[in-house]
Amino acid sequence: MRLTLGPVLFNWQPETWRDFYFRIADEAPVDSVVVGEVVCSKRAPFLAGHMPAVIERLVAGGKEVVLGSLVLVSLPRERRQMAELAEADGFLTEIEDLSCLAPYAGRPHAIGPFINVYNEATAAFLAGRGANRICLPPELPLGSIRTIAQSLPDTTIEVFAFGKVPLAISARCYHARIHKLTKDNCRFVCGQDPDGLPVRTLDGAGFLLINGVQTLSDTCANLAGDVDALRSAGVRALRLSPQTCDMVAVAKLFREVLDGRREGEDAVRALASVYPQTAFANGFLYGSPGAQFVRSMTLRSQ
């Protein structure tokens, strides 16, 4: 089983973003790293100056570099950016929006978790166009994951295994609206919340996170205890989504589980220390409400 580090979804300071990837390159036991701004095209220019150094460092660290497209392409300049991305040579591209797919017909590429691959027919269609890796949407239950994975033995099926779960994206910027700003004059206020802005119910319970135009879960997906079930289902890669916790430690714990050097349940407990005061969830895998955490032993006995 391979480990993939997904793209940073939040608006981190450019130097913080750069240094994060430098450390990942040097210390994290991951196989692939998806880089690039995928949530908001307005953030991309701040990262562009650091991108060559980040890619060079990741390659030197033995990581496969994958370039991520935008999740929602709606403006002419965004279409131009995606056309330029399609012309890039030497790196695999991960498609996050179907509008980006046409230039990659017949070319190897990856499919990200933001594209709704809910059944084996959709997965087969994408694989037939050149997708050699498909990260499934995080809301799929194990039965659907198994059906898709076993129908495409030659395609790497990946599952979102750690991080705040991306749920929706919009053309409107929630962060700007909360601060009484417009999307065009947002002042990049999303940068004030490097792990997302919590949204709570009237009773004060955690509900969602806001990340600019994106909505994520309040709970953090954690499938470290479900690795055996996922492997048996035919899953060949797990995705870790960057948070403000120590992602090197997260990657090491997952790697120990994948290599059989640590029990999954023990890794779940250790991750609670790495990312404290955060509720974990794996409910989607069980066909339960996504915010729930279901003991992994139940799944293994089914």
C-alpha to C-alpha distance for 137 and 114, rounded to whole angstroms: 6
Domain assignments of the chain as residue spans, ordered by start: 2-164+221-277
2-164+221-277 has which fold? TIM Barrel (3.20.20)
As given in the structure block, the two tokens for residue 199 are: 């949204």
**Each residue's pLDDT tens digit in the chain (302 positions)?**
999 999 999 999 999 999 999 999 999 999 999 999 999 999 999 999 999 999 999 999 999 999 999 999 999 999 999 999 999 888 999 999 999 999 999 999 999 999 999 999 999 999 999 999 999 999 999 999 999 999 999 999 999 999 999 999 999 999 999 999 999 999 999 999 999 999 999 998 889 999 999 999 999 999 999 999 999 999 999 999 999 999 999 999 999 999 999 999 999 999 999 999 999 999 999 999 999 999 764 444 34
Q: What is the pLDDT of residues 149-160, one digit of tens each?
A: 999 999 999 999
Cα dihedral angle (40, 46, 48, 49), rounded to 10 degrees? -170
Q: What is the pTM of this model?
A: 0.95
Q: Is 291:218 a contact under the CB 8 Å cutoff?
A: yes
Q: Is 32 helix (H, G, I), strand (E, B) or coil?
A: strand
* Rounded-to-integer distance, Cα 149 and Cα 128, Å: 15
Please answer whether residues 273 and 38 qualify as being in contact, where contact means their C-beta atoms are separated by less than 8 angstroms: no
* DSSP of 122-186: HHHHHHHTTEEEEE--TT--HHHHHHHHHH-TTSEEEEEEEEEEEEEE-SS-HHHHHTT--STT-
